[in-house]
Amino acid sequence: MINEVVGVPGGIGEGARRGRAAAFDGWLSALLPGREGIALVAVGGLGRRQCAPYGDLDLVLLHAGVAGVDELAASLWYPIWDAGVRLDHSVRTLAEALSVAQDDVKVALALLDARFVAGDRGLADTLTRTATDHWRRTAVRQLPALREITEARWHTHGELAFLLEGDLKEAAGGLRDVGILRAIATAGITDALRPAVRAAHLRLLDTRDALHQQVGRRVDRLVAQERDGVAALLGLRQLPPGGSAAAPLRQLPSDRSEAAPRAGGPADDGDGDALLRRVAGDARTVSHALDDAWRAADRLRSGRRRGADGRPLRRPVARDVVEHDGELVLARTAIGARPDPSLSVRIAAAAATTRLPIARATCEWLAAYCPPLPAPWPPAARSALITLLGAGPGLVPAWETCDRYGLIDGWLPEWTRLRSLPQHNPVHRFTLDRHLVQTAYEASRHTREVDRPDLLLLGAFLHDIGKGLPGAGATGRAGRHEPAADHSIVGAPLAAAVAGRIGLPAPEAALIGTLVRLHLLLPDVATRRDLSDPKTIAGVAEKVGDTGTLDLLHALVRADAAATGPAAWSDWKGRLVAELVSRVRTALDTGALPAPPAPDPALVAGPLPVVHLTEDTVSVAAADRRGLLATVAGCLALHRLEVLAADASTVDGRALVECRVQPRYGLAPDPIALSADLRRAVNGDVSVTQRLRGRALAARSEGAAPRVVWHREAATDAVLLELRAADAAGLLYRVTCALDEAGAQVRAARISTLGGDVVDAFYLVGGWPDDAERARLEAAVLAAV
């Protein structure tokens, strides 16, 4: 740790960072003897005097061609390494350093932070002065290469403002981008480091310092389990009962310095959600400033297009909107004594469809002078909103620009609550506000599949509007294995009210409410229920009502999953949802329920046992006996296969088990070994059984208490037992063994993995009407878990 090496106590704030830099300067000066023609130059955090508690050192040993420089460098670097400090170092002459900077824009930026530490000050000053002059002369030419590198980094690390676990340094809007703003400002292209940016930068540095102290090592990714602890170090405390969520956050004084707590210690009462919102706001400030800076650089490099009169060209792009110098501005006729209330929505739609930015001055004017929209909205505003939501790639940047200047709050008062709201669910990658906008973007890909694309876009945008409200704990911190409060039910009337306010007729507003209320129906039923059961199909058909709503829900499900993250969707889930939609459509169109699928012909003929393997299915036929499903499940767990769905049936005296599977760790097992073990296991081979039990016992894990929920009316000829528990290898084997030993016959099982938890549904043959018998079975299942 830097603090331990240089004897400075841990601390957070500008004063602590400068203190670490000063102490480091003194330590390094003692390592380098005074000698003409040699200088030690700091770049990076030490060069800017922004040393993090567990940061590294970036040093350049600059020399004027003196002899013995390699030995001198070794005598300098080895004490640093021996002290356990990470070091990035180089040894260069002045000409070499400047030559590398000419060829590598990242080196050119690094030299802008160069600062003399020890040795020949004149040599170091020559480097910093020459490097800065060279950058100012060549920046306009080098910025395209810098932008390409920057956008590649953004593609890798995402946008800090919307990520639930973002990288404070590398993500868009993070500390690395502030360095680019500093370089653009140094080149004199624009005033990129305005006061708001400087304040956001200091808060991000404070957050990074607190994260280092909380974790006890160098780390820049603000992961969920560290947020509360970091927030406590920054003075962001949880509100007391009855406290107001609107209370202003207490900011950390810039000169605060305090000893670090034990690394990984208790999170105290820090408010991680408040921290995430603050980081999101600061990242947005940095990102918006960099967007403006890029545009200023583009205009400077390409020059302005001018007409015959020498003025920049103005091109009409929409009603009251013109393009001026690569940006959208209001037409002169639109700026009158009584501006049109729909003006802000219409210029946002124009920006999204043309993919041109809205000029800053125009946004500021709209924020100050555009009147609020009446209720219901005029048709022009409603049409512009649908155009904006369906604009595809242009939606997100246009929406962000409007949100930056507070225009969204004027359209949708609910947006203040939704902005930067964390989602405490491991499958989500974005904060709630970005998730809603991203879902609308993803829904625009499916507008040709539905008869009301406008309702699809609006339903996608509003589908999670109920999150974060009392009674809708989908973003909250409910205990593990507890059912998430149904934000879809809470949000349905809110969405219908918004739809009515923007001017949709009452039946269409009610349909928006229905889409929000049912947006989880298809994936939940497809992954947790038996699709061959007529009662399953009838229940969905009754709730959906017609094929038009079914198509809208199917499109919304896919858009929602794509906006959530890669863990929210899979080919398997997509096939199940599509199968459910097809069966429900048949029921709605014909009134007849589709017949259940016939068993695999390969399983109902030939000598027993039969084992049939494909890429994602395992099918077994054996002599009818109890416990066959448990045996197959255990054998699959032994070969590290996760069971996604399982069906058990009996045909002509032979027991059939058909499972959909996927590799638990991504590597498919040896099919020959798997087939051989399955055959031995179903024939009662004791050695296989012992291996199964050994693996299952080893897989037991501690965690929050699991829960069993009964559904008495969910199936045609069975009772549904639903288990909510922590995921673990061999869990299905242990539970099915417990069910078998308790005398329950499992007809089908559906396994749904949600992050580190599972919701497993078991179809038990019979009515199970006796409360005592159900309690006995429930106890057996919980004991097995």
Q: Is the pLDDT confidence value at 81 over 80?
A: yes
How far apart are the C-alpha atoms of 117 and 109, rounded to whole Å? 19
Bridge partners (DSSP) of residue 330 are 321
Q: Which residue has the higher pLDDT, 624 or 783?
A: 783
pLDDT of 4 above 60:
no
- Phi and psi, residue 555, nearest 5°: -65, -40
Residue 484, number of CB atoms within 10 A of its CB: 17
Answer whether residue 718 shows pLDDT above 50.
yes
- Both tokens assigned to 685: 């081979």
Map residue 215 onto helix, strand or coil.
helix
> Is residue 486 within 8 Å of 469, Cβ to Cβ?
no
CA-CA distance, 76 to 91, in Å (whole number)?
Answer: 11
Res 700 pLDDT > 80? no
100-111 in b/e form (b: 16+ CB < 10 A) is bbeeebebbbbb
Average pLDDT of the chain? 87
pLDDT at residue number 246 = 36
Phi-psi region of 384 (alpha: psi -120 to 50; beta: other; left: phi over 0): alpha
φ/ψ (deg, to 5) at 648: -125, 135
Between 82-96, 159-173, 564-578, 697-711, the lowest mean confidence (pLDDT) is in: 697-711
Confidence class of residue 477 from pLDDT cuts 50, 70 and 90? Answer: very low
Q: How far apart are CA 414 and CA 72, in angstroms?
A: 64
Sign of torsion, CA 260 261 262 265? negative
Nearest to 625 by CA among 648, 602, 600: 648
Whole-angstrom Cα Rg for the chain: 32
pLDDT attached to residue 568: 86
Query: Would you state the pLDDT for residue 627?
Result: 84
The arithmetic mean of pLDDT across residues 464-484, rounded, is 61
What's the sign of the alpha-carbon dihedral 627, 632, 633, 638?
A: positive
Contact by Cβ (8 Å): 617, 645: no
HEC readout, 67-114 = CCHHHHHHHHHHHHHHCCCCEEEEEEEHHHHHHHHHHCHHHHHHHCCC
Q: How far is 433 from 423, CA to CA, in rounded Å?
A: 10
Please answer whether residues 420 and 433 qualify as being in contact, where contact means their C-beta atoms are separated by less than 8 angstroms.
yes
Write out pLDDT tens, residues 197-207. 999 999 999 99
Show the tokens assigned to 11: 């601390």
User: Which range is least confidently modeled, 149-158, 187-196, 752-761?
Assistant: 752-761
Percent of the chain predicted with pLDDT > 70? 89
Phi-psi region of 358 (alpha: psi -120 to 50; beta: other; left: phi over 0): beta
Residue 469 is classified by DSSP as S
Q: Largest Cα–Cα distance of the chain, in whole Å? A: 96
204 neighbors 222 (Cβ within 8 angstroms) = no
Interval 633-664: pLDDT, tens: 889 988 989 888 888 888 888 888 988 888 88
User: Taking the C-alpha atoms of 530, 533, 535 and 540 in order, what is their torsion angle to the nearest 10 degrees?
Assistant: 50
Tell me how far apart the alpha carbons of residues 487 and 560 are, in angstroms, rounded to a whole number: 14
pLDDT computed for residue 261 by the predictor: 40
Question: Using one digit for the tens of pLDDT, what is the confidence trace for 338-384?
Answer: 889 999 999 999 999 999 999 999 999 999 999 999 999 999 999 99
Average pLDDT on 78-88 reads: 89
Q: Which letter does DSSP use for residue 173 in this model?
A: T
* Contacts of residue 452, Cβ cutoff 8 Å, sequence gap at least 6: 508, 548, 552
Whether the Cβ atoms of residue 180 and residue 232 lie closer than 8 Å to each other = no
Helix (H, G, I), strand (E, B) or coil at 39: strand
CB distance 324 to 337 below 8 Å: no
pLDDT for position 268 = 53
Average pLDDT over residues 531-558: 95
Which residue has tokens 């038990």?
Answer: 764
The stretch 282-294 carries a mean pLDDT of: 93
Inter-residue long-range contacts of 628-631, CB under 8 Å, 24+ positions, other chains counted: 628/655, 628/657, 628/682, 629/657, 629/736, 629/740, 629/746, 629/749, 630/733, 630/736, 630/737, 630/739, 630/740, 631/681, 631/682, 631/689, 631/692
**For the ranges 145-149, 249-253, 397-401, 510-514, which has the lowest average pLDDT?**
249-253
Other C-beta atoms lying within 10 Å of the C-beta of residue 288: 20
**Burial tier of 62 (Cβ tally within 10 Å: 0-12, 13-18, 19+):** buried
User: 130-139, 328-337, 371-380, 393-402: which has the minimum mean pLDDT?
Assistant: 328-337
| pLDDT tens-digit map of 215-247 | 988 999 999 889 999 999 999 876 554 443 433
Q: Which residue has the higher pLDDT, 7 or 453?
A: 453
Contact yes or no for 420/477 (Cβ under 8 A): no
Record the tokens describing residue 30, joined without a space: 């003692």
Q: For residue 496, what is the DSSP state?
A: H
pLDDT at 730: 82
Going by pLDDT thresholds of 50, 70 and 90, the confidence category of residue 6 is low
Q: Give the Cα separation of 409 and 335 in Å (integer).
A: 22
Share of the chain above pLDDT 90, in %: 57
What pLDDT is stored for residue 526 in this prediction?
A: 93
pLDDT tens-digit map of 255-264: 433 333 434 4
Containing 610, the helix (H) or strand (E) segment is strand 610-613
Q: Compute the distance between CA of residue 566 and CA of residue 8 in angstroms, rounded to an integer.
A: 44
At residue 264, the pLDDT reads 42
pLDDT for 127 beyond 80: yes
Which SS3 state, helix, strand or coil, does residue 122 take?
helix
Top-confidence residue, 358 or 84: 358
SS3 state of residue 720: strand
